[in-house]
Every structure is written in C-alpha cells, then in structure tokens.
Amino acid sequence: MKAITLANPDDPRSLSLVDAPAPAPADDEVVVEVAAAGVNRADLMQAKGMYPPPPGEPETMGLECAGTVVGTGEEVGCLLAGGGYAEVAAVPRGQLTPVPAGLSLVETASIVEVACTVWANLGMLAGVREGERVLVHGGAGGIGSFAIQLLAALGCEVATTAGSAEKLEYCRRLGADIAINYNEADFAEELEGSCDVILDVVGGPYLERNVRSLAIGGRLVTIAVQGGPKGTLNLGRMMPRRQSVHATTLRSRPREDKARIVASTVDAVWPLIESGAIKPTVSKTFPLAHAARAHDFLESGEHTGKVVLIP
C-alpha cells in the first residue's frame, strides 16, 4: 500500500507518500480500504515530534478515516490511534461507526474523531444539560464547529471565541449565541462567573481566565494545550464555588474505553447528524500525496471546519 511517512524527523513538512507494508490485523481488528482521512492538529504535533503514538499503535499519522471493510464491502467510519494517512488501515472493531445516512465517506472521515472527542468530553464527562451556558474556545476550527452545533441542538446557550469577524460570523451561523473576538476583547471580562461548562483547546494561558468565567458548579474541560501546558489556579476561589477542572485526551485511552465512547457517540450524536441538526463542515480536501500542504493549510488558521485527505 501507499502511506505517508516523515522522511526527515527534523522537518515536520517532509511528508512523503511511499510504499509501505499493508497492516496485519489482530483478532479484534478489520482491514479498511481508506476513502478519506481527517487531518487534526494532533497530526501536526506528531510531525513535529511532540505527540508520538501510544505503544503498539501505527507510526503513521491519522486519527480518523472512512472507507470500506475489506471482504464485506461495508462502508464505515473509523476512530484510530494512528494509521489514517494510508490507503489501508487496520481498525479495532469497537472503533468502527456506521456512515450516517446522507453523508459521503469524505464527510464521515471529517467527523469521527471530532464527534467522539466532543461527545466524550461535553456529553459523557461534563454532562451538559439543556439551558446551560457553554463556552467553546476556537469555535471556527474542527472541534469548535462540531461542538457549537451539538450544543445548539441540545438546547444550550453557546458562547465562543475566534480571531476574526469572518470566523465569528461563521460561528453564529452554526448556532453560537455569543461570539467574542479574542484579539479585541477579554472573554473572562464578558463572561465572568456565567459559564456552566467550558471546552478549551488553548491550555495554560487561558487557565486562570477560564476559571474566572465559570459559574458555581462550573466544569472546565481542557482537551489540548495549543498555547502551552502550564497555568496558575486559584483553588481558594474555586472551592466555595464547587468548580472542577478536567484535562483529557482520547488517543491514549484503552481500546475498551474507546469502544464505549464510540458506541455512546453513535447512539447520542448520529441521530442529530442524520436529522441535519449537525452538518459536517469540510473546509478543504487535499490528495494524500499533498499531506504537507494540508498541514500548512491547517496550521495557517485559514480554515473553518475540517481538512480531509483523499488517497
């Protein structure tokens, strides 16, 4: 098969399409012919040597794909710990999803990882409820685009941050009620003490302001540290307000845990996709051989929604 490899470990853009051994599936895996693979910021971090795959998982980048099961012809979405940037992937059975009715394989490849991440953290961990105010940072990105739509469908009041007027308008079209330009305003001043849940991808630099923004009983869930991993917490402020902070990641979880998340996501979120309440937001597609260009585009911040590779 063909797969993307990093030709030079010191050059994160040295992504080359090369001949590679086809994966040998374990007893709990199936082989999927990849039709499309989603691109995520985790892939950019892996290319920079900052986010290696868990032990025993493929070195090839790619945390989600969609395609056809070899031998059965069944079309599926796939949550991966690695291996999506290839023509063929071995996928644990518990990490397969059906293709939502009405979606293409390209659209499906753009939602599997993001849907599982958003639902695992907002639905399963934070337990968002109708009527709650939820702040989503980076609302125009892949995670943010999906989270805004999910929260709007669940009846939450959605606040979000983005860096331009165009992206803020995009977020409003997705269902955001409050849209804040982080280059022009301090979200903590506008939202202080009012957010029941916050979904954060920035990390350390936002930690103190996120906690200031939480309401009594508020839950902060950090799923990425794009701004850095370290920040300061005022526990004395948090304790009487019964606030909590969670830091989570999906990739390194045990397969049994991922299977539980996938099943819950399909049960809770796929009906919202099939009804049209949540729509995939594919910003741009690239041929698999142009993975480096896809990484450039994602890192530029020009995108709204997801970037997808097509073998």
pLDDT in tens, 85-104: 999 999 999 999 999 999 99
Domain boundary among 247, 263, 298: 247
Query: In this structure, are 54 and 169 located in the same domain?
Result: no
pLDDT at 7: 94
Query: In this structure, are 242 and 256 located in the same domain?
Result: no
pLDDT at 307: 97
Q: What is the mean pLDDT of the chain?
A: 97
Query: In this structure, are 198 and 283 located in the same domain?
Result: no
CATH at 43: 3.90.180.10
Q: What is the pLDDT of residues 190-243, one digit of tens each?
A: 999 999 999 999 999 999 999 999 999 999 999 999 999 999 999 999 999 999
Q: What is the pLDDT of residues 33-43, one digit of tens each?
A: 999 999 999 99
CATH at 196: 3.40.50.720
Query: In this structure, are 187 and 223 located in the same domain?
Result: yes
Q: Is 31 left (phi over 0), alpha (psi -120 to 50) or beta?
A: beta
Query: In this structure, are 126 and 220 located in the same domain?
Result: yes
Query: In this structure, are 235 and 159 located in the same domain?
Result: yes
Query: In this structure, are 233 and 256 located in the same domain?
Result: no
Average pLDDT over residues 110-114: 98
Interatomic CA distance for residues 161 and 242, integer angstroms: 25
Q: What is the pLDDT of residues 139-170, one digit of tens each?
A: 999 999 999 999 999 999 999 999 999 999 99
Average pLDDT over residues 305-310: 97
Its domain, for residue 216, covers: 120-247
Percent of the chain with pLDDT over 70: 100
pLDDT at 93: 98
Domain boundary among 247, 268, 290: 247
Domain boundary among 247, 266, 293: 247
Query: In this structure, are 96 and 152 located in the same domain?
Result: no
pLDDT at 99: 98
| Tokens at 71, concatenated | 């031998």
When pLDDT is cut at 50, 70 and 90, the band that residue 110 belongs to is very high
Half-sphere exposure of 7 (CA within 13 A, CB side): 9
Query: In this structure, are 101 and 204 located in the same domain?
Result: no
Query: In this structure, are 124 and 243 located in the same domain?
Result: yes
Query: In this structure, are 195 and 287 located in the same domain?
Result: no
Q: What is the number of domains present in the chain?
A: 2
Query: In this structure, are 290 and 173 located in the same domain?
Result: no
Q: What is the pLDDT of residues 253-299, one digit of tens each?
A: 999 999 999 999 999 999 999 999 999 999 999 999 999 999 999 99
pLDDT at 111: 98
